[in-house]
Amino acid sequence: MDLKDHIRAIPDFPQPGILFRDITPLLGNPVAMQYSIDRFAEQVADYRVDYIVGIESRGFIFGMPLAYKLGVGFAPVRKPGKLPAAVHAASYALEYGSDTLELHQDAFPTGSRVLIIDDLIATGGTAAATAELIEQTGCTVAGFGFLIELVGLGGRAKLPDVPITVLLQY
Ligand code: AMP
């Protein structure tokens, strides 16, 4: 199975100069979609994960089925103003623009080991801000999982020194 067969490149989206890696063909293919979740589960099997966080919004798509498969809880990291209870916040720079992310302060018991999941790592700002949020809750980042890594942008250099799983690279 070559997952790249199911990723579509859309030039100049959402703005000129960005080559957008569109995962919707993969999501629409039941074999490729199941294969992705199964590979994620195999590759993080020894990370000793207590919880998964998915980063809004495509991190939810992979994070939740993975949490189900690993038998652990899930928490969403969301854009500002979406989570109803008390939150921690962290700001970050995107490949295009900048934003803030929020996580419920009581998302996990203190000391939990948390796996961070997103569809893609580009500059690494989003994932690094999410790691800051986990640390604000008094928990440990057990690792990161991305379907896609844009290697040329060097995002993994921004992340803490924990295991990183990626299923395909450009
Ligand atoms: P970054 O913070 O630069 O690592 O950006 C990662 C976030 O932006 C992820 O949530 C991705 O879904 C999204 N993203 C950034 N660049 C791209 C791209 N070229 N194609 C698809 N999604 C992207």
- Any idea where the domains of the chain sit in the sequence? 46-169
pLDDT value, residue 82: 98
* pLDDT value of position 50: 98
Does the CB atom of residue 18 touch ligand 1 within 6 A? Answer: yes
- Is residue 87 within 8 A of residue 105, CB to CB? The reply is yes
Q: CA nearest 144: which of 112, 116, 107? A: 116
* Under 8 Å between Cβ of 115 and 145: yes
Structural class in CATH, domain 46-169? alpha beta
pLDDT per residue as tens digits for the range 94-119: 656 789 999 999 999 999 999 999 99
Q: Exposed e or buried b for every residue in 147-168, given b needs 16+ CB within 10 A? A: bbbbeebebbebbbeeebbbbb
N-terminal to C-terminal alpha carbon distance within the chain: 17
In sequence order, what are the residues at sequence separation of 6 or more whose Cβ sits closer than 8 angstroms to the Cβ of residue 128?
92, 158, 159
Atom 12 of ligand 1, residue of closest alpha carbon: 120
Determine the distance separating the centroid of ligand 1 and the alpha carbon of 95, expressed in angstroms: 6
| In the chain, % of residues over pLDDT 90 | 95
Q: Which of 115, 112, 124, 132 has the alpha carbon at shortest distance from 150?
A: 124
Ligand 1 pocket, mutate which of 58, 95, 116, 117 (most atoms under 8 A from CB): 95
- Kindly give the number of the ligand 1 atom that is closest to the alpha carbon of 19: 19
Tens of pLDDT, residues 121-170 = 999 999 999 999 999 999 999 999 999 999 999 999 999 999 999 999 99
